[in-house]
Structure 1
Amino acid sequence: MVRVTRGNLASTLTVAGQFQPYQQVDLHAKVSGYIRHINVDIGDRVYAGQVIATLEVPELNAQLAGAQAEVRHSQSEINRAKSQVAGAKSSHAALHDAYMRLAQAAQQRPGLIAQQELDDALAKDQNSEASVDVAKAALEATEEQLGVSSADKQRVQALSDYSVVTAPFSGVITKRYADTGSLIQAGTASNTQAMPVVQLAQSDMLRLRMPVPEADVPYIEDGGTVQVKVQATGKDFTGKVIRFARALDPTTRTMITEVDVANPTLELSPGMYAEAIISLQQRKSVLTLPIQAVVQGDSQSYVLALDSSNHVQKKIVTLGVQGADKVEITSGLTEGQLVIVSAQANYQVGQPVSPKFESVSMPSEVGGK
């Protein structure tokens, strides 16, 4: 026999979760070639930017040498074009000065200089000026060609740099697909035949993924408390809900929920299972009863309570949040009422009983009179 009491209650959900790497990727080469060196093996810890493998791509080296030579050729052409511009400017200056002197003399002493000679000097002056413009245009074209050559060199250089495969983030090598001498195809497209070099996983931070049933999805929220027990290591810790999918898997009718778990010593391994207890609903100062005191009928729940004269009565109750060992009573009972905890089938409505209080954790039957 127990009394209806007020207390705080929290419902929980116990699910099996699995640890996943925080991020994981298969590393491909962006150019085709043979592996000259592979510097890592499974289980190796690597850091961001570390060289994983180096490819041998002879034709790419030849292309890079050709692109570099084209850049040097363009630079030489620019120097030659600059010299031509300088020569054209000097020639134009000399011819322009000669024409100006003749024109000044003809103006001061009309008839001294023949008109034909003035016309020839003017034509040479204008022609030399046009030569300067031509030389400048040739210089601009050569500079543009240098830009084209430099861009091509950068393209080939970038491809050459791709012959060195580096780690995009710090982590652990979990798979090695190739060895020295293996031919690696360029992984520039979704090509299933392109073999990756290694698989890299970030394991110093793990994601604990838990499937939450559809009925409990409305109670999942960011920052929710999660008690985690890892049976493989015997460790327990408390985490918080960091993210959830906000969509149900149509096959399992569950929603993936994640907790981030720091793993600096790599004590936990991806693929391990853990028992997760997720806190769902929190209720404060509500009417509660032990779960075993509630009888589930065909369409409703009820309890066997005692009236003021200690006779058994059947009380229809409405249930709220259900905790590990207690349940919330939202209607049907009042605080302090006496309720039979167990063996309800031994009692009849209207039967007088002698109340005997027992521990809630170990309820005993109440004998009738």
Structure 2
Amino acid sequence: MRKPASSFLVAGMTLACVCFLVACHRAERGSEAKADEIPSARVATAQRGNIAHTLSLAGQFQPYQVVDVHPKVTGFMVKINVDIGDRVRKGQTLAVLEVPELSAQLKGAGFEMEQAKDDLLRTQHEIKRAEATHAALHADYERLLEAAKAEPGLVAQQELDDAQSKDLASESQVDAAKAAADAAREHTEVAHADKDRVQALQNYTNVVAPLDGVVIWRYADTGALIQSGTNSNEQDIPIVRLSESGLLRLRMPIPENDVQFVHIGDEMEVRVDAIGRSFTGKIARFTRDVNFETRTMETELDVENQDLSISPGMYANAQMQLAHADNVTTIPVEALVLKGDQQIVYSLDSDNRIHIRNVQVGLRGSKLAEIKSGIEPGDRVVLGGQENYTEGEHVLPILSQGIASEVVHESGGVIDMKGAAEENDGGAK
């Protein structure tokens, strides 16, 4: 009788276990079905960061000034003191010319000026003599006139008239002497100016440097006849060519689309690969004119080069910041959707439900965009496939790790000195 009871007990326990397992399986299948009904969404978190656009350019160094030095007089080269590569200072004598005609003219001008001085001195003495004569004759006339008034008939009228005539004539002589002195003074000044003119021409036989610089070419040798550079004859060759290399111009072509970002005083990072030197420069000037053929605008930086470590003609690679937004809210550009004229994003709330927001977009990069309003740092936004979601829809977020800052590099052309050198080495081999 006990054995059948044990069998019923075992059968009951087995049935209970089977029912429990079936119930658990059904509950698990129900949960999976519910989870399958919630769509997933790839999302990113809005962050604080920076967005910047930079432009890389190839530039070339130019001398600040280049001057062909011509003499102001025509003459034979007696001596030249410089050669190519020499560094000269402003006012330094570069060459000496010989002009025999000028020496003769200078002597003649000197003699003429001395003669004019003598004439002036003579007229001054003539004035004194005329004034003395006039004083004596005037005194005689005054005495006769007083005697005639004191005792009428004592002095004959003819004698009185003669004395008065001599007085007036002597006065005229004084005026004439003074006029002659003025003419002599003017002649002296003319003679002095003429001598100064010839002396200046004589001084021009010493050809001096008009600026601090480097002699980059020499055109004449000792004994050559050098024509003056005071006319427009293009065949007149200079003595030397000077380059102001202590201050250089770094000239770069800015693409048309980036002209709007160019301002006087903006900083640029410059790298001169030929000498392994880097520095920061500031934009000094630009043409304000876009070249019709290249669609670029020439822009210049002034570069101090007192040690002459940079040679004109060298290339440089420069980097200019075009636009930047610092410490702003950034999101991936994938999160932006254009709806008409308005930019929108699909964001998630704390319950992972979709909310469509209008946003104001600022600076855009290739991966990130600046959000001025509509989204705050920490908000989650949907990346891609936004058309698959509706307002208030519950989604399963899949977080994508993204960057907070971005620098967008644009290239206007750079010079790869290392690559060029390797290419040349390969060609030599």
Change (3 A) 1:135 1:348: closer
AA partner of residue 117 (structure 1): E
The answer to whether residue 378 in structure 2 is matched with residue 337 in structure 1 is no
1:203 match: secondary structure: coil
Contact 1:247 1:255 in 2 (8 A): yes
TM-score if structure 1 supplies the norm length?
0.81
The 5 A counterparts of 1:302-313 are none
In the alignment, what sits opposite 1:40? Answer: 82
1:36 match: secondary structure: strand
Q: Distance in 1 between matches of 2:208 and 2:242?
A: 11
Change (3 A) 1:159 1:282: same
Q: Distance in 2 between matches of 1:192 and 1:353?
A: 82
Contact 1:53 1:164 in 2 (8 A): yes
C-alpha displacement of 1:356: 7.4
Q: 2:326 aligns with which of 278, 284, 301?
A: 284
Contact 2:335 2:381 in 1 (8 A): no
Q: Distance in 2 between matches of 1:306 and 1:259?
A: 47
In the alignment, what sits opposite 2:115? Answer: 73
AA partner of residue 107 (structure 1): K
Q: 1:88 aligns with which of 108, 130, 133?
A: 130
Q: Distance in 2 between matches of 1:261 and 1:321?
A: 32
Change (3 A) 1:100 1:349: closer
Q: Distance in 2 between matches of 1:247 and 1:108?
A: 97
C-alpha displacement of 1:146: 1.2
Contact 1:67 1:149 in 2 (8 A): yes
Q: Distance in 2 between matches of 1:211 and 1:97?
A: 91
In the alignment, what sits opposite 1:17? Answer: 59
Change (3 A) 1:126 1:256: same
Tell me which protein shows more helix as a share of its residues: 2
Moved more, 213-222 or 240-249: 240-249
Contact 2:335 2:382 in 1 (8 A): no
Taking only the aligned residue pairs, the percentage that are identical comes to 48
C-alpha displacement of 1:12: 0.7
1:251 match: secondary structure: coil
AA partner of residue 244 (structure 2): Q
Unpaired segments ≥5 residues, structure 1 = 296-301, 311-316, 341-346, 362-369
Change (3 A) 1:70 1:336: farther
In the alignment, what sits opposite 1:221? Answer: 263
AA partner of residue 219 (structure 1): F
C-alpha displacement of 1:140: 0.8
Change (3 A) 1:329 1:360: closer
The answer to whether residue 115 in structure 2 is matched with residue 64 in structure 1 is no
C-alpha displacement of 1:64: 1.9
AA partner of residue 159 (structure 2): E
The answer to whether residue 273 in structure 2 is matched with residue 236 in structure 1 is no
Q: Distance in 1 between matches of 2:54 and 2:251?
A: 17
C-alpha displacement of 1:160: 2.1
In the alignment, what sits opposite 1:121? Answer: 163
Deviations 1:332-356 (A, max 9, x none): x96533548xxxxxx9986x99957
Change (3 A) 1:349 1:114: closer
Give the number of equivalent residue pairs: 346
Unpaired segments ≥5 residues, structure 2 = 1-41, 337-342, 353-358, 389-394, 405-429
CA RMSD of aligned residues (A): 3.5
TM-score if structure 2 supplies the norm length?
0.70
The 5 A counterparts of 1:286-365 are 286=328, 288=330, 321=363, 326-328=367-369, 336-337=380-381, 339=383, 355=398, 357=400
Kindly name which structure, 1 or 2, has the bigger radius of gyration based on alpha carbons.
2
